[in-house]
Structures are given as C-alpha cells and as structure tokens.
Amino acid sequence: MEFSAQQLAGLLNGQVVGDPNVKVSDFSKIEEGRPGTLTFLANPKYTEYIYTTKASLVLVNADFVPEKNIDATLIKVENSYSALATLMSMVENMNAKKSGVHETAVISEKAELGGNAYVGAYTVIEDGVKVGANPQIYPHVYIGDGVQIGDNVTLYPGVKIYKGCVLGNNVVIHAGAIIGSDGFGFAPDSEGRYNKIPQVGNVVIEDDVEIGANTTVDRSTMGSTTIRRGVKLDNLIQIAHNVEVGEDTVMAAMSAVAGSTKIGKRCMFGGQSGCVGHLSIADGSVFAARTGVSNTIKEEGQMYQGYPHMDAKLYRRAHVCFKNLPDMRNTLIQLQKQVEELQKLINK
C-alpha cells in the first residue's frame, strides 16, 4: 500500500519539506535507503547519511536543520523515532491476522476461547483456561490449568504458560518464553541436603506488556510475581519469584532480577545488568550494561554503572584511573626507589 508524504504528515501531525506528493510503500534504514521507501533520522551519529540516502522520504525531528542539500523529502515531527513506531504499527495492523483452530490443537472442553481466535498446530489449552477476544496463539504453545488471558494477546511458537497465571490485554510473548515456572526455592536440612519449597503463587502480567524470546518469569513462592503495565522485556531475561517490575520499565537482553526485588516505574536496564534479591529500586533508575545492583536505591532518576553499582559519572572517572593503574604502579615503584636513595643520603 502506498502513502504520499502529505498523507503521512497528516497522520503524524508533521510538516512536509519538499515534494508533498512523493509516495512510499516500504521502510528502509537511512544508510541503505532505496527509492520508494521511508526512513528516519533520530540518532545524530547517522546524520551524514541523510545527505546521501536514496530513500524518498525521511522522518526528522522538528528542530533538525540541514547543513547542505538533501534530495529526499522530509517530514518534520516532534519525535521521529516515535513517529516511525506509529507508522510501523499501523502497517502491521493492516496485515491480515491468522484465524481458525488447527485440527491438531488440543483444547479442553472446560476452556473458554474468545471470538476471532487463531490457535496453531499442536497447541495445548488445559482445563479452566479463559482466553479473551482476538488471540493469536501460534503452534506448540502450552497454556496450563486455570490461566486467564485478556483480549488481543499474541503468543508466539513454543510459549509455555504454567497453571494459574494471569495475562492482561494486548500482551505479546515471543517464542520460547516461559511464564510461571517454579521459583528457585530450596531449604537445606540438618544434613546439608536441599529440599524443594513448593512455589504456590503465580505470575500476573498486566496490559501492554511485551516479553522477548526465551525469557523466563518465575511464579512466586506465595502471592504473585508481577509485571506491571507497559513493561518491555528483551530476549533471554530472568525474572525470579516474587519480583515486581514497575510500569513502563524496560530491560535489555540477558538481564536478571533475583527474588523479591521491587523495581519502580520507568526504570531502564542495559544488557547483562542484574539485581540481587530483596531490594527496592526507585522510579526512573537507569543502569548501564553489566551493572550489578547490590543495594536498595532510594533516590529517583539516577544513572548507575559498574559492580557494585555506583554513580555512572563516578564510575567513568574511576575507570580512567583503573586503566592507568599499570603506569601508576611503575611510577610508584620509581618513586619508592628515589625515596630510598634519598633516605640513604640523609642517613650518611
């Protein structure tokens, strides 16, 4: 489907700079732009490509001022990255959704499936499951006893949802993710053997959450492990039992949160970052990649880095010193020798 620059500007409340009649039918990266495609500029690192891109249309921020001639037509918007997301979501929603229940799917007679459902091959839906309207449940999904699922939920191939878990509306869970597996709870006895503590809680996932491939969210020992509204979890993340992840928090791949930690709203976790258990993390906290959070954070809106975590600016200053340690050691050895020689002279 084709759209003109003028049509897209109207959808995005943007301003056209150039030919309002130019049409696009696909997306491209700015450095690999092709005629008939739309691209965007959000990261200043890519500014050089806007002068050479072959894309027909470029979304830019309203404050963008070109330094030389640009062949492409521009649409100035408040936030080009957000505008791109809006357009891509619109195109995605235009694609026809799958429908129907595959003949190999096994659905309990005691389960309830909402209207306009798609259930793929070899999916199993157990007793007492309730699924809302418009679900997209791909092949090899397992949904355990008593699971509650809202409207417009997408479960990609191989997702496993254990018994008693609750999913809100507009939830997307990618391939291989596991929701509600047992939390890691074992108690040592007098002989040092570990006895399993039954994990009798569940997982509650609120509306508008997206969970990446092969991520695991453990069920709680008691009560609920809770993923609040709007959370976005990348691939290969571990959320332990009784954790709470606050609204609109985002986590990059291979991050992990240990048991009973409470994460505030709008936090950001870089890749391979992690929290030890039983902490509280203030709203708006930001953690650079590989940050290890070892203590409760009470001050909102601060950025941290390193292990154990520290103020990101302090960490960077300390890291400069760390890189210089070999030279500093050699200097110290030389100074020690000079002091010893001076001491000898003084003692004569």
Residues serving a catalytic function are 241
Q: Tally helices (H) and strands (E) across the chain.
A: 4, 40
Return the SS3 of 115.
Answer: coil
Quick one: DSSP state of residue 249?
A: -
DSSP H or E run through 275: strand 274-275
Helices 5-12 and 80-94, interaxial angle, to 10°? 110
Could you tell me the two tokens for 47?
């500014």
Please state, in angstroms and rounded to a whole number, the distance separating the CA atoms of residues 237 and 256: 6
Quick one: DSSP state of residue 197?
A: P
56, 72 Cβ separation under 8 angstroms: yes
Q: What share of the chain is helix, strand, coil (3-state, %, to 5)?
A: 20, 30, 50
110, 91 Cβ separation under 8 angstroms: no
277, 240 Cβ separation under 8 angstroms: yes
DSSP string, 23-60: EE-EE--GGG--TTEEEE--SGGGGGGGGT---SEEEE
